Structure 1
Amino acid sequence: MTAMRTQQELDDRYGRARSAGRRRWTWILGGAVVLALIGYFGWNTYTQAAQSVDIDVTGFDLSDAPHSVTVDFQLTLARGSAVSCVVEAQDEEHGIVGWKVVSYPADDAHSRTFSERVATTAAATTGLVPSCWIP
């Protein structure tokens, strides 16, 4: 009858030593990978936030209906960035009855206010700015 061997006895017999140095390097390598991933995702989040544009439509004027709509809006973006936006006029069924792309040069202000007139092909009921981007 064979006696049961402990794991340590088997490791010693077949030369499978669990060295403290190997475990230490495994932890160091694992920690470095985790730190690299945190750095990557942190930098990615920062660059996306720096390139984002916040749009707030503050009002629209239909006084020249059905020929145009004037849209007032405020942009918040990184200082010193040029920006381009789409300005739209929509009818009561949310169909686009006029639109244009406008571009503004770089400015040191963090928030900027604009007013754009959009010619329409039919009577508009609202004006909006669906998207802006930093070129």
Structure 2
Amino acid sequence: MTTQAQLDDRYGRTRSPRRRLLGWTIVAVLALGAIGYLGWTTVASSAASVTATDTGFTVNDDRSVSATFQITAPVGRAVACALEARDEEHGTVGWRVVQYPASDEHSRAFTETIPTLSLATTGFVNACWVP
């Protein structure tokens, strides 16, 4: 009676060490490529990221609110921010998009007035981005 190993030897179904090494080399190259790609996309996306921190707001009157905030953005890049005003029921009563030119400073502080349709109870930065 023949065993599976004898049949594999007879019909050439065994893997040579060279072929096994080639398979592991391909796996290693693909793994390193995937790690490199993920690392590059992480660095590239964080290089253009903008963060905004609300530092306060002032209700001016029934038709406007001022929002004070600080942005941290890449040096030498223009920034745009969407500002929002809400009423006591959390409904949006005002909205404004402002654009700031490129600057040599990494962090900057601003106070902007948001026109509203009715009395607002808060004003804040909804989002900032590099246009």
- TM-score normalised to the size of structure 1? 0.90
- String of CA shifts for 1:7-57, please: whole Å, max 9, x gaps: 1x2222112232111011101100000011111111111122122211100
Query: What RMSD, in angstroms, separates the aligned Cα atoms of the two structures?
Result: 1.3
Rg larger in 1 or in 2? 1
Given residue 5 of structure 1, which amino acid in structure 2 is its aligned partner? T
Identity of aligned residues (%): 49
**2:48 is equivalent to residue 31 of structure 1:** no
Which whole-Å deviations, capped at 9, do the CAs of 1:71-94 have from their partners, x for residues lacking one?
000111222111101111111111
| Aligned counterpart in structure 2 of residue 105 of structure 1, from 101, 104, 108 | 101
Structure 1: unaligned runs, 5 residues or longer: none
The alignment of Structure 1 onto Structure 2 pairs a total of residues equal to 131
Match of residue 17 from structure 2: 20
Q: Return the TM-score normalized by structure 2.
A: 0.93
Of 32-41 and 13-22, the range deviating more from structure 2: 13-22
Select which of 37, 41, 58 maps to 1:40.
37
Runs of 4+ in 1 over 4 A off after TM superposition: none
Is the aligned partner of 1:11 residue 2:8?
yes
Q: Distance between the aligned counterparts of 2:80 and 2:42, measured in 1?
A: 22
SS of residue paired to 2:31: helix
